[in-house]
Structure 1
Amino acid sequence: MDLLRSYWSPAELATNGLIFLHLLGALAVGLLLGYERSYHGRAAGMRTYGLVCLASAALTVVNAFPSMWYGGIGTQVSHEAALAGALAGDPTRVIQGIVTGVGFLGAGVIMREGLSIRGLSTAASIWATSAIGIIIGLGFYAVAVATAVVTILVMSLLRPVERLLPHRSVIHLTLVFPRDKAPQPQDLRLQAKQHGFEVVDWAFHLASGSGQFECQLVLQGKGDPDPMALISTLASTDAVVEFKLSPSRI
């Protein structure tokens, strides 16, 4: 009974309250980061980010109170022994486990659709959120808040800045023609150039038995050329049986 009562001792309750405050702060920061992703229509939203930050903080902060583990057994020994017990906790091992686990979670939001890869920014921001949770768990509140603000600014503001800077856009175009109506490669290159794109890579495939000729083109354009004119041209071309246009990244 004494051991059971030790779980509800004043010292144990005070420790639980302090841990709970850490978790509330981590949850608030995670929800804030998740809202930015939800606002931009990403799959991982407030719940995902809130739980990642909360769990990272929880696993880290409990490691700071080894003398209060298992009902505060460490408080029943001498002060020197309790101090030695406090030094027994090793947050670096917990951090390694968190980073490994969040790595699997981040890999789950990265999707490949043909030649396009999506979700890299979301995976990176989930990993950053776990780091913020670890920082909160270690008690560096000012650094955690500063890191959260910088992370939000990077996710929200850098993409428009990237568009303002000189850059090139890459899109992937797949065209399917009947075998007897397949155009010459130089004709495809000329049509792409007329719409502001340059063919930088290509692959051709003749489907056996179907009589269809498939062209996979990687198009590159300066800045952000509008692909709608190219889509209209492809949609009105009788020789095109099927086409697919997708950006290289989002």
Structure 2
Amino acid sequence: MLNWDLVWPVLAAMTAGGLIGVERTYHGHPAGFRTHILVCLTSCVLMLAAMHQSTWAFTALPGQTVVIDPTRMSHGLLTGIGFLCAGVIFREGFSVHGLTTAASLWVTSAIGVLFGVGMLNLALLAAGATLTVLAILRFADARLPHVGVADVILRWKRGEAPGEATVRDLLRSSGLKTMRLGHVIADGGTCHEHHLKVRGPMPLDIDGLVVRLGAEPGLSGFSVLPRDE
């Protein structure tokens, strides 16, 4: 017979996880709709199992007392979800991406735990707050004054690369300050690359920078990758 005390938390967890996942999928992040549903669903069903340990099909040893502690399941869940979160965080150049998606997976797991233990009001509040942060506050964040960051690679022929001061001045002419500058010898030693992390007031003048770099004598290639979470 169908136990609705088990059905509604599962359905609610799938709905909440799906709504959070839709926002991530819409913005092209690696962990999206189905991943968030599965994270929330898994957290929910495992907590439901922990909360109903009295129905488990096991027999205690004679003279032994079984102590039920559902909090141990929640500790394991929120620790284990860290491995999944680490999978969506990656580094490209000097930039780290995927932190917000990892955080959304973590809070989605917590929401599933809340549904599993029957804290409906707190679970709905947490789901609403998460969607507000991811979807609505995105627009507020875009309007706040902040500094933009970009990864820039400049490629020169071996022996023709300018000094660091010249490279910094080149970026400064586009309103960008060089935060880090690394050197790489590539293509069998025939190419000298400058790997830079630069920052400047938003919006970054990427088009202007591309025009300036395209006209720079001796520059055989370049890439400009604005950092975006």
Q: Same fold (TM over 0.5)?
A: yes
Shift, 1:68, TM fit:
1.8
Q: Secondary structure at the match of 1:225?
A: coil
Q: Alpha-carbon deviations, 1:153-182, whole Å to 9, x = none?
A: 111233332332232112121111013432
Q: CA contact under 8 A between 2:43 and 2:112: conserved in structure 1? A: yes
Task: Tell me how large the CA RMSD over aligned residues is.
Answer: 2.3
In the alignment, which residue of structure 1 is the partner of 2:56? 69
Could you tell me which of 195, 209, 214 is aligned with 2:193?
214
Q: Secondary structure at the match of 2:103?
A: helix
Percent identity between the aligned chains? 36
Q: Secondary structure at the match of 1:151?
A: helix
In the alignment, which residue of structure 2 is the partner of 1:98? 77
Mapped partners of 1:66, 1:195: distance in 2: 64
- 2:163 paired with 1:184: yes
Q: Secondary structure at the match of 1:57?
A: helix
Q: Alpha-carbon deviations, 1:38-94, whole Å to 9, x = none?
A: 1111111111011110110000012222222229x89xxxxxxxxx97xx3211111
Shift, 1:35, TM fit:
0.7
In the alignment, which residue of structure 2 is the partner of 1:137? 116
TM-score w.r.t. length of structure 2: 0.88
- 2:212 paired with 1:202: no
Task: Give, as a single letter, the amino acid of the residue that structure 1 aligns with 2:36.
Answer: Y
Q: Secondary structure at the match of 2:196?
A: strand
Could you tell me which of 196, 200, 219 is aligned with 1:240?
219
In the alignment, which residue of structure 2 is the partner of 1:79? none
Q: CA contact under 8 A between 1:192 and 1:198: conserved in structure 2? A: yes
Could you tell me which of 16, 28, 47 is aligned with 1:29?
16
Shift, 1:207, TM fit:
5.1
Total equivalences in the alignment:
225
Task: Give, as a single letter, the amino acid of the residue that structure 1 aligns with 2:35.
Answer: T
- 2:141 paired with 1:154: no
Q: Secondary structure at the match of 1:173?
A: strand
Q: Larger % of helix: which?
A: 1
Q: Alpha-carbon deviations, 1:197-230, whole Å to 9, x = none?
A: 1123212344596232221222110222221221
In the alignment, which residue of structure 2 is the partner of 1:9? none
Which consecutive residues of structure 1, in runs of 5 or more, have no partner in the other structure?
1-12, 75-83
Shift, 1:112, TM fit:
1.3
Which consecutive residues of structure 2, in runs of 5 or more, have no partner in the other structure?
none
Q: Extract structure 1 runs of 4+ deviating beyond 4 A.
A: 206-209
Q: CA contact under 8 A between 2:94 and 2:197: conserved in structure 1? A: no
Shift, 1:249, TM fit:
4.4
- 2:37 paired with 1:50: yes
Shifted more, 107-116 versus 236-245: the winner is 236-245
For the pair shown, which has the larger CA radius of gyration, 1 or 2? 1
- 2:139 paired with 1:163: no
